[in-house]
Amino acid sequence: MLVFYGYELNDFDKEPFEYLKNKKKLWEKFISDFPKIRSAYLKTIDADLKEEYYSLFITDQLAANHEKEITQQDSMFYDLSIKVSKLIEKSGFPDWMTKKDTMSMKLMVILRHYCGLENRIKETHEMYNDKIYTDMSDNRIHTIVDNAFKSGLISPEMYVSITTYWMNNNPYGKIGVLINPKEEKVTLTLNMTPDEVIQVNKNRKNIGLHLINNENEEMINASWFKNYPFKEIEKALSECENCNNKSDSLKVMFGIARRVEKEYKNKATDFLLNFGDI
């Protein structure tokens, strides 16, 4: 099943698959069958369609790095949103976001840009009443994303990331992380009133996201923050001869934290399941 989600042989070097490798006959059978299974998977990929999307992604990136007026950039994004909408309506929403595919994040970036444009227009009075932007009302990307999510082709996390881009009031909540060196504890922090937290959790539950609270250890334990290097940072700061102010100390702290985060991600044992089954 994972091979049909795009997994290659080296992806099975991660810890969750050790039990399989220890069963030598089973592993050898898998190794023997892998080329055939991988070949069958590759035959399901429409190379021409992927190339068409990739071309749109390149144009999208050129627009994102546009150095001229923001209205020109927005016009480029809008024109591209129409092209992407028509391509999706013609060929169906691709299933790359449920697979380990190089186009997964590229398609996500494309959709984020166009939903972000729609959000900016809705939430900015000047843009909403500007003739240039009122003509951009035919952006169908948000509806397409909604339908793809309902069909299990986009995960709840990706859905939130795409649809709330440039949104001032995220209906699914803005979560912060609070580092407490004295107690050597990492907790979540929510910049919301109790009533707002209740509504946010209702919204999250409706789309299949876990609920959030200030003490949600599950979220911390599922991230690199569970390995936050309190002891190492404390030792480094005590031995730092150049830490004469808060700025210098923060540089040391962030440097160590970034290294630990990178090491955690490099060793990550997560693997992708069918979002439609969650």
Per-residue pLDDT tens digits for 76-107: 999 999 999 999 999 999 999 989 888 999 99
| Residues of the chain above pLDDT 90, percent | 65
CB atoms within 10 A of CB 233: 20
**Cβ-based neighbours of 224, under 8 Å, separated by 6 or more:** 260, 261, 264, 265
State the pLDDT at residue 268. Answer: 62
The b-or-e profile of 62-81 (16+ CB within 10 A means b, else e) is ebeeeeeeeeebbbbbbebb
For strands 175-180 and 185-190, give the pairing.
antiparallel
**What is each CA distance from 152 to 17, 52, 58, 115, 275, in whole angstroms?**
26, 23, 27, 19, 6
Handedness of CA 178, 267, 257, 105 (dihedral sign): negative
Show the CA angle centred on residue 19, arms to residues 264 and 262, nearest 5°: 5
Handedness of CA 111, 117, 122, 128 (dihedral sign): negative
For 208, the 3-state DSSP assignment is coil
Mean pLDDT value of segment 39-66: 93
State the pLDDT at residue 270. Answer: 54
At 40, is the pLDDT very low, low, confident or very high (cuts 50, 70, 90)?
Answer: very high
Question: By the 8 A CB rule, do 224 and 261 touch?
Answer: yes
Q: Please indicate whether residue 276 or residue 256 has the higher confidence score (pLDDT).
A: 256
Q: What is the DSSP string of 59-118?
A: HHHHHHT--S-HHHHHHHHHHHHHHHHHHHHHH---SGGGS--THHHHHHHHHHHHHHHH
* Residue spans per domain, the chain: 3-42, 47-163, 172-222, 227-278
